[in-house]
Amino acid sequence: MITTTCDICKKKMDDPINERTFFRYAETSICEPCKDNLEQNIRTQIRGKDPFTMEWYEKTLKDSCTKACQKGKV
Ligand SMILES: [Zn+2]
C-alpha cells in the first residue's frame, strides 16, 4: 500500500489517486480538503483581479500552496 502525506495538514492518505484524492502543486502533495481551501482563498482574490490570466492563477495557486505548507494550514 502506498501512503502519501499531505504537505499542508500532514494527514496521511492511503493509496492516493492523483488528481482525485490528492493533488500536486509546486513539488508538494496536498489532500482534497486542503486543495478546496486553497481554491476558496484564491476565488476571493480572483474577484478583484483584472485582467485575470491563467498564468496569474497558477502562480497564485503555487504561492498559496507554498505558504500553506510552511504554516501547516491553509
Ligand atoms: Zn491536507
Does residue 9 have a pLDDT over 80?
yes
Q: Could you tell me the distance, in angstroms and rounded to a whole number, from the CA of residue 52 to the centre of ligand 1?
A: 27
45 contact partners, CB below 8 Å, separation of at least 6: 60
User: How many Å lie between the centroid of ligand 1 and the Cα of residue 35?
Assistant: 7
pLDDT tens digits, one per residue of 18-59: 899 999 887 899 999 999 999 999 998 898 888 999 999 989
> How many angstroms is it from 49 CA to the middle of ligand 1?
27
Residue 5 has pLDDT above 90, yes or no: yes
Residues with CB under 5 A from ligand 1 (ion): 6, 8-9, 31, 34
- Counting beta carbons within 10 angstroms of the beta carbon of residue 47, is it exposed (0 to 12), middle (13 to 18) or buried (19 or more)? exposed
| pLDDT for residue 27 | 84
The domain tally of the chain equals 1
pTM of the model: 0.83
Q: Which domain holds residue 28?
A: 3-71
What is the reported pLDDT for 1? 86
* Model pLDDT, residue 25: 82
Beta carbons of 31 and 13 less than 8 angstroms apart: yes
